Amino acid sequence: MAKNSSHIVSQKKPRNRLLDYLQYLALRWVEMILCCFPVEANLYTACVLGDLMYVVDRKHRDRALGNLRRSFPGMAEAECRRIARRSMRQFFSFGVEFIFTTRLVRLESWRKFVELKDFQTTLDLLLKKDRGLIMLTGHYGNWEILGYVLATLGFPTTSVARTLDNPYVNEFALGVRERRGQRIVDKRGMTVPVMQAISRCEPVGFIADQNAGSKGLFVDFFGRKASTYKAIGLLAMQNEVPIVIGYARRVEGAFRFHVGVQDIIYPADWQGQDDPLIYITQRYTAAIEQFVRDDPGQYLWIHRRWKTRPKGEVSERFD
């Protein structure tokens, strides 16, 4: 068995380092060009590129429309198409915002770009520093801004994310994400650093609407079963820490965000439940669904959230 395993590993296609570096150089060239113009002008260009993507990228357009039709079965077709187009615009807006975040969001200037909504209870939990805190969001608005703003305010967060395949681009992305003290850990080796952060009474951040595959826990999301990771609920139960579900909603046409909290799940809420893990997972998934419903055009509908189906259920065509 060991021999076969090593053979499989050895067959993994190696990275083309020259191609990786050329991609990195292209990214830095785009960054240089973007920084020659005001952020609002770049956001306008991002919308134009999103509209172009909607027209020419049939695969992702059909996936977004398929997900929207099944999530909002009573929605008019014209509205589905409008939201799908907006969602694709967000894809490019995210890239512009990522590049400009370190240039604009600082301790002395963050209030110009971020407005906190229903955030006082969460701030109180962060300021107490008497226990850890799990903070969740979804592929909605600008999810990257959440950890960055918290770190800017003096609350360094350990955030779990997948390491990018291109090592040069990954290093660039880490330079942005970790500029103010946020720490990014790879999801494949997250256990030790996450437990250490919780033991230091620091917040830990997750993107909580990832497809978890066949071993995930299936809970309702927009009326359909969605495979969801068990790790978040198990982590909360093991350490008895609250879970904050929040969002960073864009203000259209501007580099500005409403950062808010949709729900907070306390240990007392799941104690006494018949199945605490299902309760936690379904409740935070419902909270994500609610802020998506408030402005569905800011959700990443090309995301393959419903890719894995429960046993006996046929895979959906556009997932």
**pLDDT tens-place string over residues 109-120:** 999 999 999 999
Per-residue pLDDT, 254: 93
Inform me whether the pLDDT recorded for 8 exceeds 70. no
Q: Print the SS3 string covering 223-247.
A: CEEEEECCHHHHHHHHHCCCEEEEE
Q: CA–CA separation, 148 vs 259, rounded Å?
A: 12
pLDDT at position 299, please? 97
Q: How far apart are CA 12 and CA 279, in angstroms?
A: 40
pTM to 2 decimal places: 0.91
The predicted model gives 184-202 an average pLDDT of 92
Query: Domain map of the chain by residue range?
Result: 16-298
Instruction: Give dist(CA 83, CA 68) in Å, integer.
Output: 8
3-state secondary structure (DSSP) of residue 187: helix
Residue 212: left (phi > 0), alpha (psi -120 to 50), or beta? alpha
- How many whole angstroms separate alpha carbon 184 and alpha carbon 187? 9
Query: CA-to-CA distance for 207 and 8, rounded, in angstroms?
Result: 30
Element containing residue 64 per DSSP (H, E): helix 58-71
- For residue 69, the model assigns a pLDDT of 97
- Higher pLDDT: 187 or 62? It is 62
The model's pLDDT over 122-180, given as tens digits with 9 standing for 90+, comes to: 999 999 988 899 999 999 999 999 999 999 999 989 999 989 999 999 999 998 888 88
DSSP 105-160: --TTTGGGTEEEES-HHHHHHHHH-SS-EEEEE-SBS-THHHHHHHHHTT---EEE
pLDDT above 60 (res 12): no
Burial of 244 (0-12, 13-18, 19+ CB in 10 A): buried
pLDDT tops 60 at residue 4: no
> 315 is written with which tokens?
């895979």
Q: pLDDT tens across 255-273, in order?
A: 999 999 999 999 999 998 9
| Beta strand residue intervals within the chain, DSSP E | 114-117, 133-137, 158-161, 183-186, 203-207, 217-221, 224-228, 243-250, 257-265
Rounded alpha-carbon distances, angstroms, from residue 120 to 90, 117, 157, 222: 28, 8, 18, 29
Mean pLDDT of the 280-284 span: 98
Tell me how far apart the alpha carbons of residues 231 and 48 are, in angstroms, rounded to a whole number. Answer: 39
Q: What is the rounded CA–CA span in Å between residue 103 and residue 95?
A: 14
Cβ atoms of 185 and 178 within 8 Å: the answer is no
User: In the prediction, which pLDDT does 198 show?
Assistant: 94
